[in-house]
Structure formats: structure tokens, C-alpha cells
């Protein structure tokens, strides 16, 4: 996955929640049913409501696999808050 390290593209990649859900499924297979993840279809991007659904699904699943989820909401990922995203990413990688 081509993500540049010199800008904020890593944090932008988490905005729609798809990457979060897929990472959780890699860390703990079978946690999220792939049919429940809203994905882009062709050139058509998913809307903000579907992005929120993905983020909420990913965050609930992250808590379910053992990540500490104190005061982490979907808006932190939508806004691209680096310290929150990196903290959760580290926990998922550790699992």
C-alpha cells in the first residue's frame, strides 16, 4: 500500500474506516464480516454516513479484540488526529 511517510496521507487513509476494519481483520481474522464494510464502488466514493458506519464498526471491533478505547470516537479519525490514530494502530499491531 503506497503511503508517503513525509505527509499526512497515513492519517487520511483512515478517514473512511475501511483500512481500520481491514487491519482489525488481519490482526484477528473473522472479527468483522467483510460484507459489513462499506467500500467504494468503482469511481464512486462512499458518503460521510457510510464512513461513520465503518469507523464505528472498526472502533467497536477494536475494543472487542482487546484494544484500550478510552475516549476514542469516530470524529478523531475523521479529523485525522495523529496521536489517536497512531495509538490505536500500535495496539492493533501489538495484538
Query: Please, what are the averages of pLDDT over each run of 10 residues along the chain (95 residues)?
Result: 71 91 94 94 90 96 94 93 93 92
Q: Which residues contact 40 (CB under 8 A, 6 or more apart)?
A: 16, 18, 46
pLDDT value of residue 3: 67
Tell me the CB-side half-sphere exposure of residue 42, using CA atoms within 13 A.
2
Q: Scanning the structure block, which residue is given the C-alpha cell 496521507? A: 9
- pTM of the predicted model, to two decimals? 0.88
d(CA 28, CA 6): 29
**Domain annotation for the chain: domains and CATH numbers:** 9-94 (1.10.418.10)
The CA-atom distances, in angstroms, between 34 and each of 3, 23, 31, 81 are: 23, 12, 9, 26
Amino acid at each position: 500500500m503506497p503511503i508517503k511517510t513525509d505527509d499526512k496521507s497515513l492519517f487520511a487513509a483512515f478517514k473512511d474506516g475501511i483500512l481500520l476494519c481491514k487491519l482489525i481483520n488481519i490482526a484477528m481474522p473473522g472479527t468483522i464480516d467483510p460484507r459489513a464494510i462499506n467500500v467504494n464502488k468503482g469511481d464512486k466514493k462512499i458518503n460521510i454516513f457510510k464512513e461513520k458506519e465503518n469507523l464505528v464498526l472498526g472502533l467497536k471491533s477494536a475494543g472487542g479484540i482487546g484494544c484500550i478505547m478510552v475516549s476514542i470516537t469516530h470524529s478523531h479519525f475523521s479529523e485525522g488526529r495523529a496521536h489517536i490514530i497512531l495509538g490505536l494502530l500500535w495496539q492493533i499491531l501489538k495484538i
